[in-house]
Amino acid sequence: MHDIWNPWHGCHKISKGCEPCYVRYQDGQRGGNASRIFRTKAGLDYPLQRRRDGSYCIQAAELIRVCMTSDFFLEEADA
Ligand code: SF4
């Protein structure tokens, strides 16, 4: 496992299934607001970003965790 890539952060509580939400729990611990949705510093192009030596930040066949602090099906994420 290499890294975590969170292209955006935040989510909308949509059902009772969201009660034990990881994002809401983590944000609550830090005094954050998980309902505020924003693009993260990592950006949408993180898989294409390179280090100073020219190698990709994420190597071929490396496993990464994606979108741990949001959801792919947000309307705000479509754009
Ligand atoms: S991340 Fe999942 S569990 Fe959390 S609020 Fe969004 S949809 Fe619900």
Q: What is the mean pLDDT of the chain?
A: 91
Index of the ligand 1 atom closest to the CA of residue 15: 8
Q: Tell me the best of 14, 19, 67 to mutate to test the pocket of ligand 1, counting ligand atoms within 8 Å of each CB and taking the most.
A: 14
CA dihedral 13, 79, 36, 69 (to 10 degrees): 70
Which neighbouring-strand residues pair with 4? 65
Q: How many CB atoms lie within 10 A of CB 6?
A: 18
Q: Which of the four pLDDT bands, split at 50, 70 and 90, describes residue 72?
A: confident
* 45 contacts 78 by C-beta, under 8 angstroms: no
pTM of the shown model: 0.81
Per residue in 21-37, pLDDT (tens digit) is: 999 999 999 999 999 99
Index of the ligand 1 atom closest to the CA of residue 70: 1
Q: Which of the four pLDDT bands, split at 50, 70 and 90, describes residue 69?
A: very high
Q: Is the CB of 76 under 6 A from ligand 1?
A: no
